[in-house]
Structure 1
Amino acid sequence: MSEVRNTMAAQATGSYIAQEDRHAAHNYHPLPVVVASGDGAWVTDVDGKRYLDCLAAYSAVNFGHSNPVLLDAARAQLDRITLTSRAFHNDQLGPFVTELAALAGKDMVLPMNTGAEAVESAIKVARAWGYRVKGVPDGEANIVVMAGNFHGRTTTIISFSDDESARADFGPYTPGFRTVPYGDAAALEAAIDDHTVAVLLEPIQGEAGIIVPPADYLPAVREICTRLRALFIADEIQSGLGRTGATFACDLVDVVPDVYLLGKALGGGIVPVSAVVADADVLGVLHAGEHGSTFGGNPLAAAVGRAVVSMLATGEPQARARELGGVLRERLEALIGHGVVAVRGAGLWAGIDIDPVKGTGREICERLMERGVLAKDTHGSTIRLAPPIVVSEEDLVWAVEQLEAVLVDA
C-alpha cells in the first residue's frame, strides 16, 4: 500500500509541476516540491509531507506562515475596504506611515509595493535631491553602487548589476551608476565626485551569499557620505525588520543611513508592501504627480504593515533572532572542515559555503528537501538558511543536523 501511495503522491506533485512548466514563464528553477499550506516555520506539500522552511520567502515570511496576528489584521481589513488608490485618503495609510517612520526614526514614508519599486523610487528621489538640493547640473547625477549587489531585476536595476544571468540580453542599459568593490571604503570615496547624489548598498549582501562587510565599513560609508554630501541609501529589503537580530542591519554597527529601503517582511508574507523611509529634507523633494502607484499605500497593505510594525516595536522578534542566531552560528561553524568551507551571517541569516567535492549548492538543497528541509542555493556551492524568526530552537538544531547528514552521505 505504501508503494501505491508514494506513486499517487508523485503523480500529484508531477501534475502541478507540469502545469507550471507548461504555462508559467521559465524565469525560476524551483525545487520539485509543491507547497499547499504553512504554519509557523513549517509548510506542507500537496501530498501531506511537512518541511521546515529555511528560506522564509527570502525573508518575506520573517514572522511565520499563517501568523495569527497578521491574518487577523488582514481579515479585519478585507471586510472593510482594500483599495482606494492615492486619489483619496484612507484611514490606514496615515497611521501606517506614522508608525513606520517612528520605528525607523525618520520623518516620512513613501509607500510602494515591491522591493524593486522601492529601489527605483529611491533612485528617482536621490536624483531629484541632487538636482534640487545639492545643485548637480541637470542630467549629470551619478549613484555609486557595489559589486555583487542585488537590488531587483527591473531594467534600471540590472543596468548596475554584475550578475550576467540577470543582465545579459536585456540592454541597452541605464547610465548614471558607478560600481566599486563591496567593503572597500577607500574605493568608495575615490568614486564620489561633485555630481554623486547617493551611495546605494546592502548592509549585508544577501543574494551574493550573505556577505557581511568589515565592522568599520558602514561607519566609514556614513562618514564619507556626510562629508562629501551624498545620500547614504541602505537597502534593508532582505536584511531589515528583525532578520539579523536588529530592526535594521545598520543597527548592528550603530549607523543611521539617510534612506532605508524596506520590503518583503513589511507585508508579513501576506501582501506585497515596500517603502522608502527618510527625513523630510530628502523625501520632501517629491511633488504631487511626480511619482505614484495605484496600489502603493492601499488600505489592506497598510493594515498588515501596521501589524508588522507593532510586532517589531516590542523588540521581541529582534531579540529572538539574536538568540537563535547564536545557536545557528555555533552549530554551523562546527561543520567547518566537515563539508563546510565557511559560514557567514547575522541573526537568523546564514550563508554556507559547501566544499565543492560534496556537491553544488543546488544538489545539497535537493538532498535537504528529501530530508524535510527547504533551503536555497546561490552562486555555485553556497546555500542560504533564513528560517522564520518563529522557528523553535529544537527545529533549528534539527535542520542543521539534516545538513550534517547530507554532507556525511555526499
Structure 2
Amino acid sequence: MSLINNYRKFLMGKLDLDIAIARCEDNKIYTEDGGVVRDYLSQYGALPFGHNPEFCVNAVVEHLQNKAPVFTQPIFQQATEAFAQELIEAVGGWASNVTFANSGAETVEVGFKLARIKTGRKKILSVDRSFHGKTYSALLATNSRRHNIDHLRNDDKNFNKVVLNDFAALEAELETQQYAAFIVEPIQGEGGMHVADVAWLARARELCAKTRTVLIFDEVQTGLGRSGAMCVAMDIGVIPDILLLAKSLSGGLIPTGAAIYSNWVATAEFDRKHSSTFANNGLATCVGRAVIKQLRHNNGEALQHVKNISAQVDECCERLAGQYGGIFSWRGAGLMRAFQFNDVTADSNYFVTYLQNSGSLAWLLCSYLLNRHKMLVMPLLSDKCSIRFEPPLNTSADDITDFFTAVEQLCRIIQNGRYDILMAGLIEKPYTELPALEQAFPVPIAGQTVPTHYVQQGKKRGKKFAFLMHFTVIDDCVRMLPQCFHANFSDDEKQHLCQLVMEVGAVDPSPGVALKFCVSNEHSFADGIMIMSTMAPRDMMDLPAAEKENLIKDYIAVARREGVEFFGLGAYTSVITRGGEKMLDDIEGLSFTTGNSLTAMSTTATVIEAAGYNLVGSVISVIGARGAVGKLMVSELAHWGDNIILMGRPGTEKHLLQELTPTLCQLAFSTEQQVQPGSVIHNIRHYVQQSMPELARYIGGAVAVPAEILSTVADALLLDNLISSLGISTCDCYKTALEQSDYVVSATSEGKPFLSTEFLKAGAVAIDTARPFDFMVQPGQRVQVLEGGLVVQPEVLRYGDCNMVGLPPGINLACLSETIALAIEGCDGYFSVGKSIEYSQARYVTEIARKQGFTPLGYPMPAPAQSNNREVIANEKRIAELS
C-alpha cells in the first residue's frame, strides 16, 4: 500500500509499470536491476532536455554554491526581473508583464484572475476536450470526463465550452459579450493532441478584441520548444492577451510557471491583490534562464532540431498508417503526439472490445513497450485507446527509429490477434513458450453471433438499449478471452490472468462498451450495447455507498454517450442500487428495468414444468425469499403449490411472513391467473370465504379491494401463524429445508456458493438463479441443479462470440432478455424496480417478452451433460445433470 496514491501505486504495480529507479540522465532511466529505459514521455513534457540536463544542473549548483538568494518575498530579485524580460523577448516582445507561479494550473488561475479583474465579468469559455489543470477553477474549465469530479463537472453560471475548430459555435458564444476570457490550447495535450486550426485561432483573436474578451493561450505543454518554436502563438502570428507557460520552463528540475500578458490586461488591482510565497524565487529563476538561453543558443539550433525530428516522426506515422490502416492512426504536431490503436476485427469479442473502449488496452501497450522494449510512454487518458508521445526536445533520430520499430510490432500484435504476447509478461509467462508473432489467431471465437448492426429493411425499430454487466465469476472472464489465449495459455495461466484482470477491476471499475449488436424477430429490431466493468460481485458489494453511486453514474454516463434510450441492470448493478431505486435521480429521460420480473417468472416456469403443472403435495423451498426475485417467485408458486418454505437470513423469518402475507392476500382477491386447487392462493380464498364471508364478494377482482380489508385479512393470517396451515412457512436452517424439499429455488445476492447439494433430498430438483451460484455441488453426487433465470431467444444466435455466462446460441439470461424485449417493444418508463415488484407488472413483462419471441426455458428432459468445470450449468439441451 502506498501512502501517496494507493490507486496509482496498485495499478502501476499490477500492470508491471512500477520500475525501481536508480538514477536518471538525459533520456535514460537507469533501474536498480541494471537495466536502462529510454524515456519518450518526458514527464508529460516537463523535461525539455531530458533528466538532469547538465546546463541546468550546473546553473543550480553554481547558484547554491554562491549562496545566491532563493526565497526572498516580498523583496524582488534582480535576476527575476531579468528573467521576466528575457521571457517577453523570447515570445516575441508583444507583452509587458509577467507573473510567476509554481505550476501550470496556477498560471491558469492567474490568467482567470487577471481576466475577471480586467473585464468585470466572471464567465470563462474553454474548449471541448481541454485540459487546464486540477486546481478548482482550472478543473472547471477542463472538459475531461476522466479528471472532473462529478459535483464539479458543470458550472454553467461561470464556465462554458465550445468544440475545437467550430467557427459558428465560437462566434455565437463570444458575441454574447458575457465572457471574461476565452482559454485555448493551440495543441490539446491531455485532450488528445488535437491541433487548433490557425484560421480558427485567428478568428478567436478578432472576436475577443471586438468583444473585449481576454484571449488566453494555454501553452503549458506547447510552449518553449515542443512545437518547434518558442511558442505556437509566435509561430503562427496570432498573439493572445495572456500566454501561459510552465512544464519546459522548469528544465525538469524546479517547478515553475509564468503568465505573460499585455498592458491591456494589467491592472493595479491585480498587482495589489496577487502574490505567491514560492513564486519569483531565485532557484527557479536560474533554471528558467538556463532553459531560455539553451533554446536561443546558436540561432535556435535546439528548435530547428525539434522541427527536423518532427519531420521524421511524421514520416514514420504516415508509413505505419498506410501499412496498418484501421489499426494505427495519429494526431498532434511537433513532439506532442497521440498514437491510437484499434482492432477492427474484434467487434464481437467482449474482452478486446472492452479493453479498447475502457482505455485498458493503452495501459497494456505501454506495459509491453516498457518491459519488452525498455521504452517509457503512458496512456493518453482522455482518449479511448491512445498512448502519448512527448520525448525530450533533444531526442535523437536513432531513438525515433527504434521507437517506431517497437510501435510497428504493436501493430503486428493487434493485426495477428496476439494478445497473448501482449499480456504474457503480466503473469511472468516466458515469451519463448508462445508461437512466433507471425502466427495469427482470429480474435473472436467463430460461431453463431447476432449482427453488429441491422442490415435488413421493413421492420419496426425499437429503442436503442444497453445492458449493464460485470464478471460474476472468474470463468466469465476466461470464457471471453480471445482465441490466442485458449490456444497458447494453460487453464491455470488463463485463470491467473483473469484473476489479475478482476483485481484491477476492483481498484479501477471504470465501465466501457464491450459489445455492440442488434437483436431482431419477425417484426421488430433494436440496436444494443453491453457496458461492462471487470469488477467481481464481492468487490462491488464492498464498495462504500458513495463509490457504488459513482460506479452506477459512470455506467449511465457511458449509456448516454452512446445514445441509449433504454437500459437494463445486470447482476449486482441491480443489487447495489436496491433494484434501481437509488439511481432514479440520475436517469432523467431514460427508461430502464432490473430484469427481475422475467428472471423470477422464467425460474418458476422451470419448477412448474418439472412438476408436470401440479405442485400440490410437493415441498418447495425458496431461498432468498426476501429479495425482489424471491418475492415474485413465491407469488407465482403460491398459485401452484401448497407447501412453500421461505428461507432468508437467520432472524428474518418473522419479517418474511410480514412482507409476503399481504402480497399473497392481494393475489387471492385479485389475481386473474390460473389457480391450482389446493394451492396457497386457493387456500387463502377458501379461508376468507369460510371465516370472513362478508369479504367474499371482493374475490375475483370485480370490486376493488380496500387497503384496510387486505390488512385485516393479512393480520388474521399472521395471528398465531395461521398462514402456515394454508401453505406458507419459514425455516431458519438451510439443511432442514433442503432435506425435505422436492423443489428448491435459490436467488440470493450472497456473492459466493454457500448451499451444499449433499443436503438435497433424493430426487429433488434445485434451480439456482444466483450469480455467482448459491449451490456447491459435491463431487460424486448425482443431483439435478439447474441454472435458473434462462430464456429462449427469438434467434438461435449468441450475443457476441460467446454468451456472457457460457450459454449456447439461442438461450440467454432472463434479465438481459427482459431488457431487450421491452426495448424492442418500445416501452417507456421504469420496470421491475425495487424489492417489492408488483406481480401484475411481472406478468405484463412476461407477456411482452413472449410477444417479442422470448420464452422461459422450461424443463424438458434431455440427456445429461458434463459439468464443464462449472458449479451449475445449463447445457445446450436446456438442463445440466451433474454427476
The question of a shared fold, defined as TM-score above 0.5 by the shorter chain, is answered with: yes
Change (3 A) 1:380 1:33: farther
User: Aligned to 1:240, what secondary structure does the other structure show?
Assistant: coil
Once the two structures are superposed, the pairs formed by residues 253-268 of structure 1 within 5 Å of their partners are: 253-268=236-251
Distance 2:101 2:172 in 1: 33
Distance 1:280 1:57 in 2: 33
CA contact (8 A) 1:84 1:299 kept: yes
Show the counterpart of 1:275. Answer: 258
Change (3 A) 1:252 1:343: farther
Q: Which runs of 5+ in 1 are unaligned?
A: 1-20, 132-139
Deviation at 1:173, TM superposition (A): 6.4
CA contact (8 A) 2:144 2:191 kept: no
Q: Which amino acid aligns with 1:373?
A: M
Show the counterpart of 2:368. Answer: 367
Answering whether residue 383 of structure 2 is matched by residue 390 of structure 1, we say no
Once the two structures are superposed, the pairs formed by residues 161-200 of structure 1 within 5 Å of their partners are: 161-169=142-150, 171=152, 175-192=157-174, 193-200=176-183
Match of 1:146 among 113, 116, 127: 127
Distance 2:291 2:81 in 1: 15
User: Aligned to 2:107, what secondary structure does the other structure show?
Assistant: helix
Distance 2:153 2:337 in 1: 35
Once the two structures are superposed, the pairs formed by residues 278-293 of structure 1 within 5 Å of their partners are: 278-293=261-276
User: Aligned to 1:167, what secondary structure does the other structure show?
Assistant: coil
Change (3 A) 1:183 1:271: same
Q: Which amino acid aligns with 2:201?
A: L
CA contact (8 A) 2:331 2:339 kept: yes
Distance 1:172 1:363 in 2: 29
Answering whether residue 34 of structure 2 is matched by residue 48 of structure 1, we say yes
User: Aligned to 1:226, what secondary structure does the other structure show?
Assistant: helix
CA contact (8 A) 1:218 1:253 kept: no
Match of 2:20 among 34, 57, 71: 34
Answering whether residue 382 of structure 2 is matched by residue 400 of structure 1, we say no
Show the counterpart of 2:141. Answer: 160
Show the counterpart of 2:337. Answer: 350
Deviation at 1:288, TM superposition (A): 4.2
> Once the two structures are superposed, what CA deviation does each residue of 1:97-146 show, in whole Å capped at 9, x if it has no partner?
11111112221110111000000111000001102xxxxxxxx4322111
Distance 2:136 2:154 in 1: 7
Distance 1:286 1:394 in 2: 52
> 4+ residue runs of structure 1 moved beyond 3 angstroms?
26-30, 169-175, 284-289, 356-359
CA contact (8 A) 1:340 1:352 kept: no
Q: Which amino acid aligns with 2:96?
A: D
CA contact (8 A) 1:91 1:299 kept: no
Deviation at 1:171, TM superposition (A): 3.6
Deviation at 1:362, TM superposition (A): 1.2
Distance 1:143 1:173 in 2: 12
Show the counterpart of 1:323. Answer: 308
Match of 1:380 among 378, 384, 399: 384
Distance 2:304 2:153 in 1: 45
Once the two structures are superposed, the pairs formed by residues 301-316 of structure 1 within 5 Å of their partners are: 301-314=284-297, 315-316=300-301
User: Aligned to 2:217, what secondary structure does the other structure show?
Assistant: strand
Show the counterpart of 2:203. Answer: 220
Match of 2:282 among 269, 294, 299: 299
CA contact (8 A) 2:143 2:161 kept: no
Comparing 167-176 and 390-399, the one that deviates more: 167-176
User: Aligned to 1:212, what secondary structure does the other structure show?
Assistant: coil
Match of 1:58 among 24, 35, 44: 44
CA contact (8 A) 1:144 1:177 kept: yes
User: Aligned to 2:335, what secondary structure does the other structure show?
Assistant: coil
Q: Which amino acid aligns with 2:102?
A: N
Distance 1:102 1:260 in 2: 13
| Higher RCO (CA 8 Å, separation ≥ 6 residues) | 1
Change (3 A) 1:172 1:218: closer
Answering whether residue 226 of structure 2 is matched by residue 243 of structure 1, we say yes
Q: Which amino acid aligns with 1:184?
A: D
Give the superposed CA RMSD.
Answer: 1.9
Distance 1:328 1:361 in 2: 20
Answering whether residue 104 of structure 2 is matched by residue 115 of structure 1, we say yes
Q: Which runs of 5+ in 2 are unaligned?
A: 347-351, 415-883
Show the counterpart of 1:13. Answer: none
Q: Which amino acid aligns with 2:376?
A: L
Deviation at 1:380, TM superposition (A): 2.1
Change (3 A) 1:238 1:229: same
Change (3 A) 1:70 1:27: farther
Comparing 335-344 and 260-269, the one that deviates more: 335-344
Deviation at 1:298, TM superposition (A): 0.3
Distance 1:372 1:386 in 2: 16
Q: Which amino acid aligns with 2:394?
A: V
Q: Which amino acid aligns with 1:346?
A: A
Distance 2:153 2:179 in 1: 22
Distance 2:194 2:59 in 1: 35
Distance 2:64 2:327 in 1: 47
Change (3 A) 1:49 1:342: same
Deviation at 1:81, TM superposition (A): 3.5
Comparing 34-43 and 44-53, the one that deviates more: 34-43
Deviation at 1:301, TM superposition (A): 0.3
Change (3 A) 1:195 1:285: farther
Deviation at 1:366, TM superposition (A): 0.9
Change (3 A) 1:287 1:347: closer
Q: Which amino acid aligns with 1:127?
A: R
Q: Which amino acid aligns with 2:196?
A: P
Q: Which amino acid aligns with 2:129?
A: G
Comparing 300-309 and 253-262, the one that deviates more: 253-262
Show the counterpart of 2:318. Answer: 333
Q: Which amino acid aligns with 2:98?
A: V
Distance 1:234 1:83 in 2: 29
CA contact (8 A) 2:129 2:192 kept: no
CA contact (8 A) 2:193 2:331 kept: yes
Deviation at 1:32, TM superposition (A): 2.1
Q: Which amino acid aligns with 1:41?
A: N
Deviation at 1:377, TM superposition (A): 0.9
> Once the two structures are superposed, what CA deviation does each residue of 1:71-111 show, in whole Å capped at 9, x if it has no partner?
11111112224532421122321111111111122211101
User: Aligned to 2:147, what secondary structure does the other structure show?
Assistant: helix
Answering whether residue 74 of structure 2 is matched by residue 94 of structure 1, we say no
Q: Which amino acid aligns with 2:197?
A: P
Aligned length: 382
Show the counterpart of 2:113. Answer: 124
Deviation at 1:195, TM superposition (A): 2.8
Change (3 A) 1:289 1:252: closer
Distance 1:369 1:96 in 2: 38
Distance 1:406 1:82 in 2: 50
Deviation at 1:243, TM superposition (A): 0.3
Q: Which amino acid aligns with 1:376?
A: M
CA contact (8 A) 2:329 2:339 kept: yes
Distance 2:165 2:263 in 1: 29
